[in-house]
Amino acid sequence: MTANIHPAAHVAPEARLAEGVTVGPGAVIGPDVSIGAGTSIGPGAIIEGHTTIGRDNQIYGHAVVGSPPQDKKYEGTPTLLRIGDRNVIREFVTINPGTEQDRGETTIGNGNLLMAYVHVAHDCLIGNDNVLANTAQLAGHVEIGDFVTIGGMSGIHQFVRLGDHAMVGGGSMVTLDVPPYCTAVGNRARLHGLNLIGLQRRGFDADAIQRLKQAYRMIFRDGLRFKEALQQVRDTFAGHADVMKLVTFLESSERGVARPGR
């Protein structure tokens, strides 16, 4: 089975389309694009630049994937965009490749849902199984872990990191790192405890959730100095990978960490 390309689509002869790729009417595929088996490209979508897309993705109409970074420092050096497997990229989503000033690559993993009008700027690193709701906007150099939910109409400042299983409430403006397992809401976003529903849905048992609750209280609520709190959590929960993930994230923050609201 070869690629199924609509007669009204414009596919560069040099583009590499695997078996089972479908391309809708009016779509444009550039010469340096590679698309994996089973991926569908909707009507009017534009896939350009040095872009590699994996298997079984759904890219809906009028998405623009791989267009040049919206960065004044960008001078046209070929940079990369890599998208994994089984992602759903809805209408009017825009995704830019990297820049030579950073990684030179924007990376999106597997199983993500990017709802309509989401923007992913240059040099972002997005993991797996995340949900970015309508009009969520990621500035450059943002890093997102796995199983993260970003509410609609939210903005994520450049260089911010969102840890695994974090949740950002709709309409938030996030300017500092959001730790794993936590919920952040507001302008500028503050922490509002753990993402308990998300953790339960991901199969965290009662003991794991209790550990994370206790660690959260020790770090953010018990009045300890930050470094002292992290060391105390390390000592208390040594050997528990879930809590150590939280501690490691906090220790590695360069931008600073969102704190609980008052």
Bond prior to 90 in cis (omega within 30° of 0): no
Domain final residue, candidates 115, 141, 167: 141
**Are 148 and 165 spatial neighbours (Cβ–Cβ below 8 Å)?**
yes
Residue with tokens 């994230």: 249
Say if residue 210 is in the same domain as residue 137. Answer: no
CATH of the domain at 206: 1.20.1180
53, 133: one domain:
yes
CA distance 172 to 76: 33
Active site residue 140: yes
The Cα 190–Cα 200 span in angstroms is 22
Say which CATH number the domain at 110 has: 2.160.10.10
Residues of the chain under the 50 pLDDT cut? none
Residue where a domain terminates, one of 99, 125, 141: 141
Q: Count CB atoms within 10 A of the CB of residue 19.
A: 11
Shared domain check, 114 and 206: no
Is the residue at 124 inside a domain? Answer: yes
Last residue of a domain, one of 141, 156, 173: 141
245 in any annotated domain:
yes
- Judgement on whether residues 128 and 204 belong to the same structural domain of the protein: no
Whole domain around residue 25: which residue ranges? 4-141
**CA 212 to the chain's CA centroid:** 23
Same-domain status, 101 and 204? no
* Residues 43 and 129 placed together within one structural domain of the fold: yes
Point out the catalytic residue in the list 140, 151, 155, 163. Answer: 140
pTM: 0.96
Neighbours of 15 (CB within 10 A): 21
Phi, psi (degrees; rounded to nearest 5) at 250: -65, -40
The residue length of the chain stands at 262
Specify if 194 maps to a domain: no
Question: Does the residue 119 lie in any domain?
Answer: yes
Q: Which uninterrupted H or E stretch holds 105?
A: strand 105-108
How many separate domains does the chain show? 2
Please give the radius of gyration of the chain, using alpha carbons only, rounded to the nearest integer: 20
**Pair 212, 100 in one domain:** no
CA distance 111 to 146: 10
Do 128 and 217 lie in one domain? The reply is: no
Residues 109 and 226 reside in one and the same domain? no
Co-location of 9 and 128 in the same domain: yes
Give domain status of residue 169, yes or no: no
- In a domain, residue 162? The reply is no
Q: Which of 62, 122, 141, 165 is catalytic?
A: 122
Tell me which DSSP letter residue 69 carries.
Answer: P
Give the pLDDT of residue 1.
58
Q: Are residues 32 and 104 in the same domain?
A: yes
Q: Which of 102, 123, 129, 177 is catalytic?
A: 123
